[in-house]
Amino acid sequence: MSTTEAARVASVARHDRRVRLWSIAGVLALATGVAASSLGAVLTEGAWWFPLMAVVVAVLASGAAFRSVNSRAWLGSVVAAAGGLVSLVLMFAPQTAILGIIPTADTVSRFGQLVTQGQASIAVQSFPADAFVGIVFLICLGAAAVAVAMDVAAFVLQKPALTAIPLTILLLVPSFVRTELHDAFVFAATAIAYVAVLLVASPQKSTRSAWPLISAALVLSLIVPVVLPSVEPAEQLGSGQGLISTGVNPIINLSTDLRRGVPLRALTYASESGGEYLRVAALDVFSEDTWEPSQNEPTAAGSVTEFPIAPGLSDEVPREEKVLQVEIDRIRGKLLPVPYATANISGLEGDWSWEPDGLTVSTDDSNSRGQNYEVAFVSPAPSVEQLEAAPTTLPDSFERYLELPETLPSIVTETAHAVAGGETTRFDQALALQSFFADGDFTYSEDAPVAEEYDGSGAGVLGEFLAAKSGYCVHFASAMAAMARSLEIPSRVVVGFTPGERIADDSDERRFLVSTDNLHAWPELYFPTIGWIRFEPTVSVGSAPRFAQSVEDDPSTPDVDESQPEPVATPTSTSPATPGARPDLPLDEDSSAATPNGVEISPWWWLVLALPVLLLIPALVRVTRRALRLAAVRQGETGAAWREVRDTAIDLGYPVSATATPRQQFEHLTEHLGDSGTSALSSLLGQVEASAFSTRPETVRVGAVTNVLAALRASVGWRGRLRAALAPRTAFSPRDRRG
C-alpha cells in the first residue's frame, strides 16, 4: 500500500467516523426533543421547547465537534457539558458573563435567582402552568443534564441502549407532577426515536441483533399508554392563558381554578330565557376525603340526541322547555357542561354519552375543548305546594344518597337537627338548611380554608368549616348535602358553573360569558315525585331556583306557579317516578370498566406493572436472538449454529469460554453430555468447522442444532434450565460477529 493510498484510506475512515459521530448526535438530539415534548402536558405554551432544544443541540454538538478531532470519549462528554453551560449562559445570563459566555460569580447568582423563581412559579401555579423564565430555565437545565447523560451512554459507555434511562426520566416528569398526565402519542414517538438511536448508534454495523431491544421498546410503548390513563396533551398554541382542566374529579381542581388571578374564559352560551346553571359532574359518593362520582358506566347506547326523563320527575310537575347554544372556549376534559335536565344535544363532535342518574355528559375519545353545541333541556318548575307535599318514601336504590362516612363529625348531624329538626316537611327542612348557610353568619372566603388547613370537600373538614363559618362553595355545598343526608333527604354535590355575565343583548338572543370565576359547587336534594332540586347555600354566590327560595326571606318573590309559564306536559307522559323503573337503564350495573372518571394509577403502580415486563426483557432478547440465529442457519450461515450452541451452554452454566475455538468448547462440553449428545455435538462440530474453515460447502440442518440444544438442556436440572430461560447470561453479550 503506497503512502498516498494509505493517507486516502485514513482520510476516508476519518470522514466515515465523523459522519457517524454527527448522525449519532443528531438522533440523540431528536430523541431528547421528542421525549421532552411530554412536558407539554404540564406547560401551557409550546415556546419553551425551542430554548430547550437549543441547549440539547449545544450539548450534543459540542461533544460531537470535539470528538471529531479528538478520540478521547470521556473528554468529549466534559466538552458537551461545557457546551450546555455556555448555551445556558448565553440564553439566560449573557450580561453577567465575560464575552457573554464565560460564567462569573454573577452568573451563578443569576442562575440561583432563576432557580428560585422557577420553583416559586411552579408552587403558585396550577397545571398546566405558564412557562415563565424561571420554569424555562429549570427545564433547560434538566434538558442539559439529560443530553449529557445521553452523550455519556452513547459515546463513553458505548451502550446506546442505556439512553432509555434519561429518556424515561424525561417522559415520566409529567406523571410525577400529576398522575394522570400522560400522552400516548409522545410515548410512541419517543419509542420510535429510541429505536432510531439504537439503529444509528449501535457499535456494530449489523442491525439484526438490535431487533430484540427494538421489539422490547415497542412493546413497552404499547403497554404503557394502556396501563396509564391517557389524557390529551395540553394544546400549547393559543392565547397563552392556560386551560381549565376538568380532570378526573373536577372538585379537585376547583379551588385552584377559583384562585386564578386572571379569570379564564370558559365558555359562552346564548339563551332566550336567561342565565342557566351548567352542570359538569354530579358527585354522589361521600367519603372522609371528598365527594366523588359513583362508578356507574355512562350509557354508551344512549346517544346524546335522546336523554332519559330526569329521575323522579313526575307528570304532575310543571316544566319549561328551553334551548341553549353553547360554545366552549378553554375547558379541557372529558366532561361537558350542560343544564339540568338535558333532553338532547346536537352539534357535538365525537362520541358522547350520558350518565342516567346524574344526567351528566362525558366522552371516552373526544374532548370538550372547542365544542359548539345546542342543548335542549327541560327545567322542572314544581310549586312549593308540590314540594311540600312530596312523599317521604324513597326508591330502594336511593339508599346510597343517604350514606354518610362513619368519621363524619357529630357537629354536622347535631347542627342539622338543631337547624331543621323543627320543620315538618323535607322541603322545609332543606330550606332551613339553605338559609342557615346563606343568611346566617357564614362568610365567603377562598383563602381561609387553605390558611386554616381545612380545605377540601370530605367529611373530615366539615367540623372545622362549621366551627370557622368561613369557606367557599365546596364547603357550603358539602356541608349542606351532608346535613341533608343526616335528615334522610337524598343529596349529592354538583360541580359546574353559575350562569355567568351577560355580554350581549341582541334582539332575539341573550349571550352569557362564563369564566373560571363562575366555577361553582352546589347541593342537589331529591324529593320523590319531583326529582333533584338545586339549592344554593353559598353566601353571596349565585341564587337558588325560585321555588327553592325560602318565602320568608324573600317575600317579594312572586308565587312560583305564577312566575312560570304554563307547564308543558312532556310527550312521554308515562314516565316512571324513579329511574330504576326504566328497564333499559340499568342503574346498578356491576361494571369495573374504567370510565373517564375512573381509575387513577399512580407511577408506583405503573412501576409494579412494568416490572415483570422489564424482568422478562433478557428472556425476550435471548429468545429473539435464538430465533434469528436459527433463521440464519436455514440460510446457510453455520457459524450462527455454533454461536447458539455456545451461548446456550453458557446460559446453562457451563464454563465455556466465549473466545475459545469451537473444538476447545466441544471438548469442554463432551465431559457433561451423554453419548448421543456427544455424537450430535461432534457431528455438528465437524459441519461447522468444515463450513467455516475449509473449502467444502457444508450445510447444517436446523434439526441438528436443536438436537444439540436439547441434549445440552437435558444435561442440567430443571433449575438450571429455568435460570437459563429467565436470566440468560448471554442475553446482552456482545453482538454476533459476522463476516
Partner 1 sequence: MDAPTSGSLPDDVFHDHCDAIVRSISTVIDGKTEAVRLALTVLLAEGHLLIEDVPGVGKTMLARALARTVDSTVSRVQFTPDLLPADITGVSVYNQNTREFEFKKGPVFANIVIGDEINRASPKTQSALLECMAESSVTVDGTTYELESPFIVVATQNPIEMEGTYPLPEAQRDRFMARISMGYPDAAAELAMLRSRELTSPLDALTPVVSVSQLRELIATVRRVFVSTAVEEYAVAIAQATRRDREVRVGASPRATLHLVRAAKARAAIDGRDFVLPDDIDALAVTVLAHRMIPARHTGDTSALLSGHSIADVIERIVAEIPVPVHAAAS
Size of the site for partner 1 (CB under 8 A): 26
Q: How far is the CB of 714 from partner 1 (least distance, A)?
A: 24
Distance CA 183, CA 176 (A): 14
R_g of the chain, CA atoms, integer Å: 35
Give every CB contact of residue 468 below 8 A, 6+ residues apart in sequence: 448, 449, 452, 454
Judged by beta carbon, residue 199 or residue 692, the one nearer partner 1 is: 692
Closer Cβ to partner 1, 88 or 684, answer by number: 684
Distance in Å, CB of 662 to partner 1, minimum: 6
- Cell numbers found for residue 303: 346517544
Is residue 421 close enough to count as binding partner 1 by CB under 8 A? no
Q: List the one residue from 563, 664, 676, 722 that touches partner 1 (CB under 8 A).
A: 664
Q: Are 491 and 434 in contact (CB under 8 A)?
A: no
Pick from 14, 502, 663, 701 the residue near partner 1 by CB under 8 A. 663
The single-letter code of the amino acid at 180 is E
For residues 437 and 688, give the distance between their C-alpha atoms in angstroms, rounded to a whole number. 90
Positions in 695-714 near partner 1 (CB under 8 A): 695, 697
- Map residues 447-486 to x or -, x wherever contact with partner 1 holds by CB under 8 A: ----------------------------------------
**DSSP code for 129:** B
CB 495 within 8 A of CB 250: yes
Output the smallest distance, CB 733 to partner 1, in A: 11
Tell me the H-state helices in 282-382: none
Binding status of residue 737 toward partner 1 by CB under 8 A? yes
63, 358, 449, 662: which one binds partner 1 (CB under 8 A)? 662
How many Cβ atoms from other residues are within 10 Å of residue 217's Cβ? 23
CB under 8 Å to 107, separation ≥6 — which residues?
Answer: 89, 93, 96, 97
Q: Per-residue contact track with partner 1, 669 to 698, x per CB under 8 A? A: -------------------xxxxxxxx-x-
Is 17 or 663 the residue whose CB approaches partner 1 more closely?
A: 663
Q: Which is nearer to partner 1, 719 or 737 (CB)?
A: 737
Residue choice 365, 659, 718, 719 for contact with partner 1 (CB under 8 A): 659
* Least CB distance to partner 1 at residue 632 (A): 10
Within 337-471, where are the H helices?
384-388, 410-420, 426-438, 448-451, 459-468
Is residue 158 part of the contact set for partner 1 (CB under 8 A)? no
Q: State which H helix or E strand residue 231 sits in.
A: none
Residue from 316, 661, 686, 722 binding partner 1 (CB under 8 A): 661
**Residue 488 region by backbone torsions, left for phi larger than 0, else alpha for psi between -120 and 50, else beta:** left
> Please, are residues 288 and 478 in contact by the beta-carbon 8 Å criterion?
no
DSSP code, position 476: H
CB 354 within 8 A of CB 304: yes
Smallest distance from partner 1 to CB 9, Å: 17
Chain positions 628 to 647 lying near partner 1, rule: CB under 8 A, are 636-639, 642-643
In terms of CB distance, is 609 or 658 closer to partner 1? 658
Q: What are the CA-CA distances from residue 388 to residues 417, 477, 490, 527, 666 (Å)?
A: 19, 22, 15, 9, 96
Nearer to partner 1, 435 or 638 (CB): 638
Q: Report the residue number, 183 or 736, with the smaller CB distance to partner 1.
A: 736
- State which residue, 582 or 738, has the beta carbon closest to partner 1: 738
Name which of 475 and 646 has its Cβ closer to partner 1. 646
Q: Locate all alpha helices (DSSP H) within 152-229, ordered by sequence.
A: 164-177, 184-201, 211-227
- Residue closer to partner 1, measured from CB, 72 or 502: 72
Query: Which residue type occupies 303?
Result: S
Residues at the interface with partner 1 (CB under 8 A): 636-639, 642-643, 657-664, 688-695, 697, 737-739
